[in-house]
Amino acid sequence: MRKIVLAFDSFKDCVGSRQIADAAKEGITAVFPHCDVVAIPIADGGEGTTDAICSNIPVTRVTCRVHDPLMNDMEASYGITADGSTAIMEMAAASGLPLVPQEKRNPLFTTTWGTGEMIADALNRGCRHIVMGIGGSATNDAGIGLLAALGYRFLDETGEVLTPIGKNLERIVRVDDSSVHHAVAEATFTIACDVNNPFYGSRGAAAIYAPQKGASAADVALLEKGMIHYAHFIATTKQMDISQLPGAGAAGGLGGGVLPYLNAKLQSGIEIVLDMLRFRETIHDADLILTGEGKLDKQTGMGKALGGILRYAQEASVPVLAIGGCVEDCETLNEMGFAGVFSIQSSPVTLEQALQPDFALENIRRVVTQIMRTIKVGIDG
């Protein structure tokens, strides 16, 4: 084997993509010591997107003061490309679910204000292109918090300025843009989205994701009412229908809610990451790609990280092997185009043991070594 590309997503709640790649490389070089092993950490728009991109291209990491989803003061970081033109960030850094204590989680009251502050900081530093992953949010405010931090004011029927939280979406009757940040009109936004949910409805932001963020059934109903109202408001005032737009329901509706007010486009998160990392160029002379994530199943190839990797690999006619902590639907995965799928578990274990980082990494080293030994038999034979 001359060249193998490692393109792993993280194993959620267990180990990160960089650690996985290091372990896999040990397994490869144990059998093919002279193989060129190229590691590219992967993310699809959720947590880890900024690190995945910034670890592979020249950037400056910066920090700024923002507010978390409950408006507590905090610090967030993002990257700026070497030419100073592009900021690379993820909303989870300022508006992510892990920032809210379990007992305080309720998307009726959380806001994306801090994400807007992060964008404003980038604009103040001269960036005019924002690349932003929007996975992992604690919010269901349709992005009005982000917009409010950039100077938009959302008003109720009495003309009072509304606090930009999910609970107040149904009260919006007017938007005042007279105080919007001066650079917003000059900026373009690429929003990395890893889901295709519509703005509202049975597969919309509130119905699918709000319960995961602490919403009760009654809360979900209230949020859904607000999402429907806000979508109709946008359709009336901006002549834009975001209701069924794929991805509009991402990040509690931020995916669609900001489109009428920013020069923004939604794009597959994994495609953004792979293109910024020049993935096509990296794999064109590779013999093999190894990829993986915590669970491999029939959803793996549908729009998420591994699906994007597989599409690019098929274009280049490079075989892809996938490994995971849990593997289901092997036949379906093979039909999608994976040359092989492998579980890292050699025997039944408890979930607690499976999620121990050292245990998982040793299993990754072991299974990659065995895969390489099998390949070597074919080469030598």
* Residue 100: CATH number of its domain: 3.90.1510.10
Q: Higher confidence at residue 351 or residue 37?
A: 37
Tell me, yes or no, whether 291 and 193 share the same domain: no
Amino acid at 169: L
Tell me, yes or no, whether 157 and 239 share the same domain: yes
The reply to whether 360 falls in a domain is: yes
The dihedrals phi and psi of 135, each to the nearest 5 degrees, come to -80, 160
Give per-residue pLDDT as tens, 134-178: 988 999 999 999 999 999 999 999 999 999 999 999 999 999 999
Tell me, yes or no, whether 60 and 26 share the same domain: no
Residue range 235-254: average pLDDT? Answer: 96
Tell me, yes or no, whether 218 and 356 share the same domain: no
Separation of alpha carbons 211 and 218, rounded Å? 10
Distance of CA 336 to the CA centre of its chain: 22
DSSP structure class, residue 161 = B
Q: Is residue 79 within 8 Å of residue 59, measured between CB atoms?
A: yes
- pTM, rounded to two decimals: 0.85
The dihedrals phi and psi of 57, each to the nearest 5 degrees, come to -135, 155
**Residue 292 pLDDT > 80, yes or no?**
yes
Q: Higher confidence at residue 47 or residue 253?
A: 253
Crossing angle for the helix pair 357-380 and 17-29, to the nearest 10 degrees? 40
Q: Is residue 288 within 8 Å of residue 321, measured between CB atoms?
A: yes
Q: Could you tell me what percent of the chain has a pLDDT over 90?
A: 77
**17 pLDDT band (50/70/90 cuts)?**
confident
pLDDT on residue 269: 83
Tell me, yes or no, whether 178 and 249 share the same domain: yes
Q: Higher confidence at residue 343 or residue 381?
A: 343
pLDDT on residue 113: 98
pLDDT on residue 381: 64
Which three-class secondary structure string do you get for 101-156? CHHHCCCCCCCCHHHHHHHHHHHHCCCCEEEEECCCECCCCCCHHHHHHCCCEEEC
Give per-residue pLDDT as tens, 45-92: 667 778 888 877 889 999 999 999 999 999 999 999 999 999 999 999
Tell me, yes or no, whether 178 and 31 share the same domain: no
The reply to whether 197 falls in a domain is: yes
Residue range 350-367: average pLDDT? Answer: 92
Tell me, yes or no, whether 201 and 267 share the same domain: yes
Among 217, 251, 271, the domain-final residue is 271
Q: What is the mean pLDDT of the chain?
A: 93
The reply to whether 357 falls in a domain is: yes
Tell me, yes or no, whether 98 and 242 share the same domain: yes
Tell me, yes or no, whether 77 and 35 share the same domain: no
Give residue for tokens 């809210």: 100
Which of 379, 373, 368, 325 minimizes the C-alpha distance to 10? 325
Tell me, yes or no, whether 14 and 77 share the same domain: no
Separation of alpha carbons 153 and 36, rounded Å? 54
pLDDT on residue 41: 83
pLDDT on residue 302: 58
pLDDT on residue 53: 82
As for how many domains the chain has, the answer is 2
Among 271, 292, 326, the domain-final residue is 271
Run of H or E residues at 73: strand 73-81
pLDDT on residue 363: 95
Domain, as residue range, for 365:
3-40+283-380
pLDDT on residue 219: 98
Residue range 184-199: average pLDDT? Answer: 93
pLDDT on residue 70: 98
**Residue 35 pLDDT > 90, yes or no?**
yes
**194 pLDDT band (50/70/90 cuts)?**
confident
The dihedrals phi and psi of 7, each to the nearest 5 degrees, come to -135, 75
The reply to whether 55 falls in a domain is: yes
Tell me, yes or no, whether 81 and 175 share the same domain: yes
Residue range 237-260: average pLDDT? Answer: 96
**Residue 301 pLDDT > 70, yes or no?**
no
Separation of alpha carbons 127 and 120, rounded Å? 10
Q: What is the CATH number of the domain that holds 11?
A: 3.40.50.10350
Distance of CA 173 to the CA centre of its chain: 32
Tell me, yes or no, whether 147 and 296 share the same domain: no
**Residue 303 pLDDT > 60, yes or no?**
no
pLDDT on residue 281: 94
Q: Residue 262 forms beta bridges with which residues?
A: none
Q: Higher confidence at residue 368 or residue 275?
A: 368
